[in-house]
Structure 1
């Protein structure tokens, strides 16, 4: 049995150690430079204040112009390419309606894309780089409803991606982000396999490569432990039978092998292999909204709402239509992210909704349940913020919020934002399991570390360098093994020679 452990570890290592070197190195890059995305802060910063003058056609007219029979899942008013537009979300698709004329934008062309880029980049020179369905910096499934995408390059090297459906800038990728991502996220997530003939198998390839690497690392720990003598040293006086680079590989594996195993295994879990973290019966939270986003629920015109906001010192750059427990609100957000809620009676804007109203809306999800409620005024293990460049750093994590725990079969938790009335996240048992098996083990986003930078950085660097020691030494040893086999002289029976 031991011999099989050695052989499996050796040949899996020969096949996978170089890949793991790339994973560890690119992971170090990702500590500081993430995959390009447009954050909420970046999105709001390029928006001018909405003007109440000449704004806007009634919401009912905008919904009718969409041509859709069903109500949208989200409605907002924003400035796109210098003009106010209603942006309606229908599943993954977005539809834009001119807020002044009430006409639907059928497709955004090159002129619209350049106008949107000019709004984003100011007076910089810019170059139109054509239309693309998907490229190295736009693999995210969140962009599927916006494709194909226009690309415009700004003078400072930033590449903007503009939706051909709404005309909005939906992604920005700076020159620095793109340069580092070639050896960062693009490499770490094996994106060289995306977009070509292997694209349809990309997910399976990542899963089974990570599974094989997990097995290889586990076998390495077993083999390394078996070969280390605690009681009776080897004849050389060493507790390891190896010399030179093999000794470094052995001792490095004993010191850092478990950390390497947790990283590879948690990377596997990030792919949600075989749908392990999919709940067969997720909690239906549609009742929280208390109705559909129809014009009848929002009698207050957008122009009048803007005037009320402005009278109370808020200059909204965007309006969002919200239903909470069947009551309509307009959420105004300015360029700095400051927000307020306006009820349909036009009374003074609210800084936050009363807890009782949020709980009433949440109770409608399971009327016969008695959920547990707590107010979070500080981050904890399941609700916390990450740096903007990190994978989930673009998600808003305001405080304080309400956490509502239901007694449904999946033991679902909802995080509710009193400032906007939004459901910030929905965590059931499987997603909380993913928090342990992926987020904690892979990113070490444990608050005592995250809140004590650079302690977190030192820990990640130490562990990553240990992993690199194991994998680099393993790659060299594997290369030597292969080179030795290719140089081994052929048996005399084959060569026709004689044995000495």
Structure 2
């Protein structure tokens, strides 16, 4: 009994001080998470990007893809190659296998020089019809992520409209890579920035930021676990306390205890799944497809010439993408509304013929055609194409690949660890579970219920912690 009392005492003290240290974090995380349900972090969707492109001036295209790749100095196939307009000039936008962007004029075959601020202003005026001013920066709150590193610096062009729209033009490529609005920026200061611990000076140092998030959320896990254990330990639904209550606490302490039994479980679920989102110890593999797998899947097809390009681009085409599949080149024409047409058309048999190149050391166990979303291929804030082919391999990791059935494009890779992560993060943190995915407002109600219960626990804990610190302050002053 003496040892049990000692354990309980340390549990009480540990939870008290962990709660004082993390209670405000929990409250901020829960409130900011509710904001993020409705206002995601700023980004430029593919639909928005295509809508801003001008139709291809095919009559000005005088350079074929092979010559453009030669001008870029590429001896190996690129990750992507697109023919689009940059202002009034058609250009090839190339991303190398290493992720480096290169832009080549489709008129002269010359490498395009970096874009100046004045040129960016002119490009936006041609695109949007208006532009008020421009400023240049290497990094800001909305471009802290590493995916922007190859595109820096940026010319940020303010449109001067009532929505406070700003377009980010990459000085490297001359393409608009991000748009933000005043409402979006405001709500993200209350949403994603505090939720992800995303201030620019910290997020600009990826390793430090990752460590900070892991440690802060790890300490939060300890606080939530200790509170949940203590709450269950001190709850007496049958053998009640002398007051007749199931809890020994009164007032705000009673609220904190009783709501903590249910709300604390929700908090623990959220903070553990958030901690796992940082992939501690690299337990989970990511969805990206390796350059080697992409290369073997694509093969080495002869590149199309100018006649094929002109035949593939229908009137209104704003982007022409080269898609290589099993040693054959396909040209994917897309218009400003997102319509797509592959030339020549991509057949399912061609995708199956290319599939073994994705994993030469394994066999394709089966291919499933998905005409609707399921638990592993679904839309959250973003749209995802349908139909897709799910290629299932028999390797030890039980790897899947998702392929766009209409174009043959590789979309992602998902092995056993990735599927486990999908449930531990997306399932527990975002409540992306089959009974709620795509069912609103049921999903919203579940989020508000769990976050609301957690907020009662967090805010009552903050108040109790503040009272405790206020009581300690005079005593500390007397001792001094």
TM-score band by shorter chain is: over 0.9
Say yes or no: does 1:364 pair with 2:363.
no
**Aligned-pair distance for 1:47?**
1.1
Q: Which residue of 1 aligns with 2:302?
A: 297
Say yes or no: does 1:60 pair with 2:53.
no
**Aligned-pair distance for 1:339?**
0.7
Q: Which residue of 2 aligns with 1:409?
A: 396
Q: Matches of residues 214-293 of structure 1 in structure 2 within 5 Å?
A: 214-278=221-285, 285-286=293-294, 288-292=296-300
Contact 2:202 2:208 in 1 (8 A): no
Contact 1:50 1:316 in 2 (8 A): yes
Structure 1 length-normalised TM: 0.89
**Aligned-pair distance for 1:5?**
1.3
1:206 to 213, 221, 226: 213
Structure 2 length-normalised TM: 0.92
After superposition, what is the alpha-carbon deviation per residue over 1:285-343, rounded to whole angstroms, capped at 9, x for unaligned? 23553435xxx721332x64334442xxx531101111101111111111111111113
Q: Which residue of 2 aligns with 1:390?
A: none
Q: Matches of residues 138-217 of structure 1 in structure 2 within 5 Å?
A: 138-156=143-161, 157-192=164-199, 194-195=201-202, 201-217=208-224
From the superposition, tell whether residues 94 and 401 of structure 1 become closer, same or farther in structure 2 (CA, over 3 Å).
Answer: same
Say yes or no: does 1:3 pair with 2:4.
no
Q: Which residue of 2 aligns with 1:123?
A: 129
Q: Which residue of 2 aligns with 1:478?
A: 465
Q: Which residue of 1 aligns with 2:475?
A: 488
SS in 1 for 2:59: coil
Q: Which moved more, 1:38-47 or 1:187-196?
A: 187-196
After superposition, what is the alpha-carbon deviation per residue over 1:353-399, rounded to whole angstroms, capped at 9, x for unaligned? 22111111102334562421111111111110122xxxxx2xx5222
Q: Which moved more, 1:469-478 or 1:78-87?
A: 78-87
Unaligned runs of 5+ in 1: 344-349, 388-392, 496-500
From the superposition, tell whether residues 403 and 362 of structure 1 become closer, same or farther in structure 2 (CA, over 3 Å).
Answer: same
From the superposition, tell whether residues 14 and 308 of structure 1 become closer, same or farther in structure 2 (CA, over 3 Å).
Answer: closer
From the superposition, tell whether residues 135 and 408 of structure 1 become closer, same or farther in structure 2 (CA, over 3 Å).
Answer: same
Q: Distance in 1 between matches of 2:340 and 2:159?
A: 30
**Aligned-pair distance for 1:149?**
1.5
Q: Which residue of 2 aligns with 1:82?
A: 88
**Aligned-pair distance for 1:236?**
0.9
Say yes or no: does 1:329 pair with 2:330.
yes
Q: Which residue of 2 aligns with 1:454?
A: 441
Q: Which residue of 2 aligns with 1:383?
A: 377
Moved over 4 A (4+): 195-200, 281-284
From the superposition, tell whether residues 371 and 287 of structure 1 become closer, same or farther in structure 2 (CA, over 3 Å).
Answer: farther
Say yes or no: does 1:445 pair with 2:446.
no
**Aligned-pair distance for 1:441?**
0.6
Contact 1:81 1:113 in 2 (8 A): no
Q: Distance in 2 between matches of 1:52 and 1:489?
A: 79
Q: Distance in 2 between matches of 1:195 and 1:163?
A: 23
**Aligned-pair distance for 1:12?**
0.7
SS in 2 for 1:322: strand
SS in 2 for 1:104: coil
**Aligned-pair distance for 1:402?**
1.0
Contact 1:134 1:195 in 2 (8 A): no
Contact 2:139 2:153 in 1 (8 A): yes
**Aligned-pair distance for 1:409?**
1.8
Q: Which moved more, 1:54-63 or 1:259-268?
A: 54-63
Q: Which residue of 2 aligns with 1:429?
A: 416
Contact 2:312 2:331 in 1 (8 A): no
From the superposition, tell whether residues 63 and 196 of structure 1 become closer, same or farther in structure 2 (CA, over 3 Å).
Answer: closer
From the superposition, tell whether residues 145 and 24 of structure 1 become closer, same or farther in structure 2 (CA, over 3 Å).
Answer: same
From the superposition, tell whether residues 290 and 193 of structure 1 become closer, same or farther in structure 2 (CA, over 3 Å).
Answer: closer
Q: Distance in 2 between matches of 1:455 and 1:199?
A: 36
Q: Which residue of 2 aligns with 1:36?
A: 42
Contact 1:135 1:195 in 2 (8 A): no
Contact 1:288 1:324 in 2 (8 A): no
2:105 to 86, 98, 108: 98
